Amino acid sequence: MTSRSRRRALGFFVAAAFGALATAAAHAQPFPQPTDVVARVVGEAMRPTLGQQVLIDNVGGANGGIGVGKVARAAPDGYTIGIGHWSTHVVNGAIYTLDYDVLDGFAPIALLATNAHFILVKKDHPAKTVPELVAWLKANPGIGTSGTAGAGSTQHIAGLFFRCRTWSAAAST
């Protein structure tokens, strides 16, 4: 192998190694959570009005409870605001003992986003409407299943509400 061939091969391997490292680093980056994205969009929109940069401190953990606790303990000077949602102000308040009051410790000042949920069935399912689905679930107890983002998620609670309101049964998965 000539020195030119060796340099070319070495260059190829170095480029491949850097490519592999860059790919691994890109995959290691956490995907931004919806609340973080909303905070950054709102923060950027606030910047021109305030005449200064808005710092977003995405504090994760305990289903949002650590970040909300940080907001609850901040000085009431207007420099610290938070984004609350189902998990931070309903689920956490219901299942955890918190050192702050989710109902009386905060005042909502804006609705930033809403989250639509859908009831879906496979295209070949016999039910094509909600009443048909309810009738099918009642006629086939124990067969229907539902999928959610997890226990306590809005999809989970909406599914339980659907079951209670329609007296139908579908196992949650």
Query: Which residues have CB under 8 Å from 60's CB, separation 6+?
Result: 33, 66, 67
Q: Return the ∠ at Cα 77 (arms to 59 and 44), rounded to 5°.
A: 55
- The arithmetic mean of pLDDT across residues 96-123, rounded, is 90
- Going by pLDDT thresholds of 50, 70 and 90, the confidence category of residue 169 is low
Q: What is the pLDDT of residues 29-49, one digit of tens each?
A: 566 778 889 999 999 999 999
Residue 26 has pLDDT above 50, yes or no: no
Residues present in the chain in total? 173
Backbone angles phi, psi at 117, to 5 degrees: -120, 150
Residue 13 has pLDDT above 60, yes or no: no
Average pLDDT, the chain: 81
CB 138 within 8 A of CB 168: yes
- Going by pLDDT thresholds of 50, 70 and 90, the confidence category of residue 3 is low
**Long-range CB contacts for residues 76-80, cutoff 8 Å, separation at least 24:** none
pLDDT for the residue 104? 92
